[in-house]
Amino acid sequence: MGYSILLVDDSTVVKVVLLKILSSSQLPIERVLEASNGVEALRLIANEPVDLVITDINMPQMDGFELIERMRLDMMMKDIPVMVISTEGSLTRVSHLEGLGVKGYIRKPFTAQEITQAIAEILGGEA
């Protein structure tokens, strides 16, 4: 049985690129869900179990920080690993994300290898 991954980004282009990377990888991924912001993501996670959330930081309605903070406060979501892909790169932001228990951080622009390697490390598989 494969993994279920949720992509959270307001950029359709980024989601399409990530979907292409995931579908062409050797990772055991069963399905990929998509959300455009934290509000949609929380609604999806509440109804669909996921093994990993990959999120952007800067999004409308609810940004990635608030999404992660709300996940950590919810008993059903608090242990879901989160990986951040963002243009945000300040040490303060990255440190804040680490404090929230983020398992991986990748700066945009990214390579397919960076994405698959990080996911493999987080989920304990091979890239």
Residue 11: its pLDDT value, please? Answer: 96
For residue 98, which amino acid is it?
A: E
Express each pLDDT in 29-56 by its tens digit.
Answer: 999 999 999 999 999 999 999 999 999 9
Residue 83 burial class via C-beta count within 10 angstroms: exposed 0-12, middle 13-18, buried 19 and up: buried
Q: How confident is the model at residue 17 (pLDDT cuts 50, 70, 90)?
A: very high
Q: In degrees rounded to 5, what are phi and psi of residue 112?
A: -60, -40
- In the predicted model, is pLDDT for residue 21 greater than 80? yes
Q: Whole-prediction pTM value?
A: 0.95
d(CA 71, CA 68) in angstroms, rounded, equals 5
What domains appear along the chain, each with residue ranges and CATH number? 3-123 (3.40.50.2300)
